[in-house]
Amino acid sequence: MKLPVALILFCTLAVPFQVMAQTSGSDQTSASRSSTPVPAFDRPVSWKLMLPNILSDQKHIWTFPNRLAHGHDWLPTVAVLGVTGGLFALDPIEGNYFRRSSSYQEFNKVFSSTRASIGMIVAPASFYLVGLVRKDEKAQHTALLAGEAVADAEILTTVLKDLTKRVRPSAFPPNGNLYDSWFESKGSPLRSNGGFPSGHSIAAFSIATVVARRYGNHRWVPYAAYGAAALVGFSRLSLSAHFTSDVFFGAALGYSISRFTVLQQ
C-alpha cells in the first residue's frame, strides 16, 4: 500500500481514539461550568432497531413533499434547488475542464473510487470497534447511526439515479455534447447507472454529519469530518465521475438526511 493511502487509513482509525480520549474530560468540564443539562440527541439505535429505523426514515424522506405543501422548509429547499439548478449551466464547462486536465493524477490515485469507498466503510467501523474496546456506547451508536444514514441515502440515490439516468462526464466521447446528459444512461436499474446525485458524496456527507453533530463539542471534529467529505466530493469531479451539480446535491441530501431524519435534530 502506498504511503499516502496508509496515512489516510491511519488517520481514519486514529480519529475515534482522539475524539473519545477528549470526550470524558471535556464533558465533565462543560458540566461543571453550567447547571443547564446538555440536550440528549442520542436517538434509540441498535442492530435490532436498524431495519425499523430505516423504514421509519424512508417514510419521513418520501413524505417530505407533504411538509412543503403545509408551508414548511421552503427556504432551504428553494436554496438547495436554486444552487443545483445554477450549477447545471456550469456543468459542461467544469466537466470538460476535468476531462482534459492532467493536474489531478496524483490526487486521483489517492482518492480513487475504490479507496474512497473503503474509507467510508473504515470510518464508522473504527468508531464501532473502538467503542466496543472502550465500552463507549456513544461511539457505538455513532457508528450505527452513520450506517443507518448511509443506507437511507443509498436507497434515495438509487431511485433518483434510475429516474434521471444522467450520463457521467467520463462516458461522453471527446467532442460530445455535455449539455445533453439527462435520461440517456443505459444499464440495469439495480446498478444505479445514472450520475445524479453523486452516491459517494451523499454517503460521505451522511457520515460526516453524524460524526460532526454528535462530537461537535470538539471544535476540530466538524472541520475534519466535513473536510474529508469535501475531498471525497472533489474526487468525483477530478475523476470525471460526476458533474458539480451531482456532487453538491448529493452533499446537501447527505447532510439533510443525517441531521433531520436520522439524528432528528
What are the b/e assignments for 143-178, b being 16+ CB within 10 Å? bbbbbbbbbbbebbbbebbbebbbbbbebbeeebeb
Whether residue 40 is contained in a domain is answered as no
- Residue 16 has a pLDDT of 58
Whether residue 68 is contained in a domain is answered as no
- Residue 19 has a pLDDT of 57
Residue written as cell 462543560?
30
User: pLDDT by residue (tens digit) across 186-222?
Assistant: 766 655 678 999 999 999 999 999 999 999 888 899 9
Mean pLDDT of the chain: 84
Whether residue 244 is contained in a domain is answered as yes
Backbone angles phi, psi at 145, to 5 degrees: -65, -40
Whether residue 29 is contained in a domain is answered as no
Residue 39 has pLDDT above 60, yes or no: no
Whether residue 38 is contained in a domain is answered as no
User: pLDDT by residue (tens digit) across 95-145?
Assistant: 999 999 989 988 988 888 888 899 899 999 999 999 999 999 999 999 999
Share of the chain above pLDDT 70, in %: 82
Q: How many domains does the chain have?
A: 1
DSSP notation for the chain: --HHHHHHHHHHHHHHHHHHHHHHHHHHHHHHH--SPPP-------TTTHHHHHHHHHHHHHTHHHHHHTT-SHHHHHHHHHHHHHHHHHHHHHHHHHHH--TTHHHHHHT-HHHHHHHHHHHHHHHHHHHHHHT-HHHHHHHHHHHHHHHHHHHHHHHHHHHH-PPPGGGS-TT--TT--TT---S-GGGT---SS-HHHHHHHHHHHHHHHHSTTSTHHHHHHHHHHHHHHHHHHHTTSS-HHHHHHHHHHHHHIIIIIIS--
- Residue 29 has a pLDDT of 42
- Residue 177 has a pLDDT of 87
Pull the grid cell for residue 172.
Answer: 461522453
The mean pLDDT of 55-69, rounded to a whole number, is 93
Residue 1 has pLDDT above 80, yes or no: no
Could you list the residue range(s) of the whole structural domain that residue 200 is in?
Answer: 3-22+46-63+74-262
Whether residue 132 is contained in a domain is answered as yes
Q: Which residues contact 214 (CB under 8 A, 6 or more apart)?
A: 41, 138, 142, 145, 263
Whether residue 36 is contained in a domain is answered as no
Whether residue 165 is contained in a domain is answered as yes
User: pLDDT by residue (tens digit) across 12-32?
Assistant: 444 555 555 555 444 444 433
- Residue 191 has a pLDDT of 59
Residue 235 has pLDDT above 60, yes or no: yes
List the CATH number of the domain containing 237: 1.20.144
- Residue 189 has a pLDDT of 60
